[in-house]
Amino acid sequence: MICRNCGRENSERSGYCSFCGYNFANYDMSLPKAADDDSEVKQKLIISVLLFVLIIILSLILFVVIRLGDNKRDDSETYYTDETEEEEVKSGGIFDNFFGGDRGSDDSANGEKETKDAPQEIESVNTIPPAEYCAAYKKYINESQMPITNAGFIDVNGDDVYELVLVGDCEASGNIILTYGESGIDALQTNRLYFNYIPGENLLCNSDGNSGYYYDLVYSIENGKWTSVASGTYSEKYGENGIELDSYGNAIMEYTWNDQNVDAKTYSDRFGSIYNQEKAVVAIYTNDEAGILNKLSLNTVELCDNYLVHFKEDKAIHTYDVVVSDVSWYEAYRACNERRGHLVHINSKEEFDYIIELLYSKGLQDKKIWLGGRRSYNDEKYHWAAPYYDDDRYYDDSVASIEDDPVYRDFWLQGEPSYYSDDGQGNYFDERYMQMFYSSKQDRFVWNDTVDDVLSVIPSYRGQIAYICEYE
C-alpha cells in the first residue's frame, strides 16, 4: 500500500506507515473510488439531459394548447360563404394550422380564413319586395294565353319570394308555377294538374300520369330558376299479347330513374332518398261534389296587399252582341261559346256604363238580360264563369267576389243578391245566376240573382229574356 502522507510503499496489512507513522484508517482504501466518481457524474449528466428534454416537451405541449385555443376563437368569429372552403381549412395539417405552413400560393382558392379584424361576412339573400314580384306576376297573367281557373301562392324554397300557381282549365293543361329572381320570372309547366311540395325545403314534385304511364318529376329553384333534380317513370309492360300481367293479374310495371332502367325497389329507394313524401303538402284540393278547384295554401291578396289580381285584369271595352231569346242561363252560356265568345263579364264602371248605353240605344229596357256571373250551389260568392267550359269552374275566383267588390257594389238591386226566392206557396228556389234588368223605381239598370230557367218560375217573362255575348 502506498502511504498518502510520505509516498512510500508499505505492507497491505499494515495499519500505520512504517516510515512516517500515518494512520491508514483516515481515508477510503478501496481502489475503485475514481471509477465510482465517474459513474456518478455520468448519472447526473443523464438526469440533467432528461429533465431538459422533458421541459422542452412540456413547453411544446403548452404552446400547442395555447394555439388550439386561439384557433377555436378564430373559428367562432370567422364567417364562411362556401362549405368547401371551410372543409379545406379544417383538413390542413396540424403544423400548417399551428405554424402557418404554406398551403398554396392562392390564399382565396385554398380557403385561408379571414382574420378577426376583417371577417368575411355571410352573403345575404337578396330581398325582393312583394310589390316587385307581384307586379311581374300580374303582367305575366295579363299576357298569358292560358285559360286560368284558379290561382294561389305556395312557398317552395323559404325565401322572400312566394311562388304563384296558375291552375289550368283541365288536366291536360296542367299548371304553370311562377317564381321570380334577379333575371325575372321563370315558369314551370307541370304535366297534368297534380303536384305537391315540401314547404321551405326547395323541393317540388309533379307526380301524375294516366293510361298506364306515370311519373315523378322533382324540381328545385336555383338562382330564381326552376331546375330538374331527378325524374322517374313507370309504365305498364307490353308484350306480344298486350299488357303483361303477374300471377295476381296485375299489370307488370317497367321503371326508369334518370333515364336508367331499374327495378321497383331501386326506384322507390332513389325517389325516397331525395323526396320525403311524408313531409309533402298537396297544393290543390278538388271538391269532387262541386267539381271546382278550391283555394290554394296561401292567400294572394294578403301576401301581395292588393298588388296582384288573381286573374286577367280586363277593364277594356270589347265587342258585344245582345241576343233576344227565351233561354235559360246555361243555354245563353253555351250559345255565346258557340259564337266563340263568352257570356258577358263586366269588370269596370266604364264597361258597365258602355253596356248600359248599348241597351238604351236598342230600347231594351223591358228585357231581363243574362250576365256571365254565377255561383256554385254550395257557395254564396258570385264570380264570372270561365268561358268555353260547361261546369262549375270560375273565371275570377278572387277573394273580393262580385257582390263584395266595391267596383260592383252599386250595380246590385237593393237587397240582392238574395241567393234564393219563394213563390209565396212554400216553394223555395235556389238562385245562382246573374241577370240585369231595368228598375223603373230606381230609373236605372240593376243586377239581380235568379234561377237558371227563370221562365219555369215566372212564365210572364216569356218574350222578355235576352243575353249579351262578349268577344275579346
Q: Which phi and psi (to 5°) does residue 141 adopt?
A: -65, -45
d(CA 230, CA 227): 9
Give the start-to-end residue ranges of the domains of the chain.
Answer: 1-29, 130-304, 319-471
pLDDT of residue 255: 96
Question: Per-residue pLDDT tens for 6-32?
Answer: 767 776 666 667 767 766 665 544 444
pLDDT band at 81 (very low <50, low <70, confident <90, very high): very low
Mean pLDDT estimate for the chain: 75
More confident of the two residues 469 and 302: 469
pLDDT of residue 409: 79
More confident of the two residues 40 and 429: 429
Q: What percent of the chain has pLDDT over 90?
A: 33
Q: Which three cell numbers stand for residue 139?
A: 303582367
Q: Long-range contacts: 218-223, Cβ < 8 Å, 24+?
A: 218/271, 218/274, 218/275, 219/188, 220/156, 220/157, 221/156, 221/157, 221/163, 221/179, 223/181, 223/182, 223/183
Give the CB-side neighbour count of residue 224, counting CA atoms within 13 A: 14
- The sign of the torsion formed by the CA atoms of 327, 328, 332, 334 equals negative
Question: Per-residue pLDDT tens for 259-272?
Answer: 999 999 999 999 99
- What's the mean pLDDT in 137-165? 80
Cβ count within 10 A of residue 19: 13
pLDDT band at 139 (very low <50, low <70, confident <90, very high): confident
pLDDT of residue 38: 60
More confident of the two residues 445 and 166: 445
pLDDT band at 274 (very low <50, low <70, confident <90, very high): very high
Comparing CA positions, the residue from 193, 158, 155, 201 lying closest to residue 174 is 193
CA distances from 202 to 49, 158, 205 (A): 65, 7, 10
- What's the mean pLDDT in 110-132? 47
Q: Are 134 and 140 in contact (CB under 8 A)?
A: no
Q: Which three cell numbers stand for residue 340?
A: 266563340
Q: Is the pLDDT at 121 greater than 50, yes or no?
A: no
- What's the mean pLDDT in 169-196? 89
pLDDT band at 309 (very low <50, low <70, confident <90, very high): very low
Instruction: Name the least confident of 99-108, 169-178, 441-450.
Output: 99-108
Question: Per-residue pLDDT tens for 206-238?
Answer: 998 888 999 999 999 999 999 999 999 999 999
Q: What is the fold, at CATH topology level, of the domain defined by 319-471?
A: Mannose-Binding Protein A; Chain A (3.10.100)
Q: Is the pLDDT at 75 greater than 70, yes or no?
A: no
Q: Is the pLDDT at 74 greater than 50, yes or no?
A: no
DSSP secondary structure of 105-157: S-TTTTTPPPPTTS--PPPPPPPPPHHHHHHHHHHHHHH--S-EEEEEEE-SS
Q: Are 436 and 448 in contact (CB under 8 A)?
A: yes
Q: Is the pLDDT at 300 greater than 50, yes or no?
A: no
Question: Per-residue pLDDT tens for 383-429?
Answer: 888 665 444 444 444 334 676 667 787 899 988 888 888 877 888 88
pLDDT of residue 164: 86
pLDDT of residue 69: 62
CB contact set of 177 (below 8 Å; sequence gap of 6+) = 154, 163, 164, 165, 166, 187, 188, 190, 195, 204, 226
pLDDT of residue 142: 74
pLDDT band at 273 (very low <50, low <70, confident <90, very high): very high
Q: Are 368 and 446 in contact (CB under 8 A)?
A: no
Q: Is the pLDDT at 290 greater than 60, yes or no?
A: no
